[in-house]
Structure 1
Amino acid sequence: MKKLILLLFAITFQSCHSQNKETMEPKVKKTDAEWKAQLSETEYEVLRKKGTERAYTGEYWDHFEKGTYVCAACEAQLFESDTKFESHCGWPSFDKAIEGSVKYNEDISFGMVRTEVVCANCDGHLGHIFDDGPKETTGQRFCTNSVSIKFIPKK
C-alpha cells in the first residue's frame, strides 16, 4: 500500500512540474512602460495592477449582444457571448471561458481567499471566479471587469 501511495505521489508531483513552460508564461510580454503607453489609466490600473472597477459602472455589465469578448490588452479571445448571463452583481459575468484562454491564481488580498482569473496570453487581470453561477450550466461565475475586455460583435 505504501508503495502505491508513493508511486501516485511521484506521478502527481512529476506531472505538476513537467508542464510545458510556454503554457505557464504569458505569450505577450511588455515592460511596465510599454503597458502604460498602450493602456488607458483605468485599463492599466485593472489589467496590470489588479484593480477593480466599481460595480454597475462598466460598459458591459448589462450588455447582451452576440459576439466574442477579447482581452483589452492583447485582444486574445476570452469569452463567447452565449456564456454571458445576468448575475445582478454589477460586473459582466460568464459561466465559461474559451478553452485555454485564462489562467487561475490564488488571491489572498483584502483578507479573503479567492481565485483570480488572468488572460493566458498576457497575464492581464480580468477578475475572479466564483462557484455561484448557473447550476444548469457550469455553476461558475467569471466576475469580469468591463475595462479588461472588449466586445467584438458577431457578423
Structure 2
Amino acid sequence: MIRLLPATKLLRAAPCFSTIPRRALHVSCPRQADPWPLPHTQSHMDSTTSPPDAPAPEPLARPNESVEKMRARLLYQARKRGTLESDLLLSTFAKERLGSMSETEMKEFDKLMDEPDWDIYYWATEKKAPPERWAHSELLNQLKVHVKNEGRVVRRMPDL
C-alpha cells in the first residue's frame, strides 16, 4: 500500500517549495528566470557582447594547405559551428559562395570564422555594429545580403 505524506510534511521536506498553501500534491519549484534567453533579446545581446577592444583571434597556421583543402575545411567549419543559427547562416553562405571565392577571399572568410559565433550572427543580422577590423569588409557585406534573404529562399543545412 502506498502511503502519501500530508502536504505540510511534503512542503517542509523540499527546500525549494514555498510554505504558502497550494494544491496538496503540487511538487514543482516556483518558476525562475530563464537561464537561456532567446537571441535578439537585450539580455542575450548583453551577455554575449565581446569587449570592443578585444584583439582579433589568432588563426592557426596552415602553411602547406592547398586551395581545395582550404575550401573543404571552410565548408565543414561553416557547417559545424556550435550554434544552429550560425551554422545555418554560414553554411548556406559557404555553399553558395565558396566555389567562386579566390584564395584571398577564402583567407578572409577563414579569419571571419575565427570570430565568436554570436558576434558573427549579430554582425550579419545587423543587430550590432562590427568592430573596426570588419567594418569595411566586402565579405561581411555579402554575408549581410545573404542573411536578408530578399528572394525568400527556404534554406536548409547543406550535406557534408
Q: TM-score, normalised by structure 1?
A: 0.30
**If each structure's helix is expressed as a fraction of its own residues, which one has the higher value?**
2
**If each structure's strand is expressed as a fraction of its own residues, which one has the higher value?**
1
Q: TM-score, normalised by structure 2?
A: 0.30
Higher normalized contact order (CA 8 Å, seq sep 6+, divided by chain length): 1
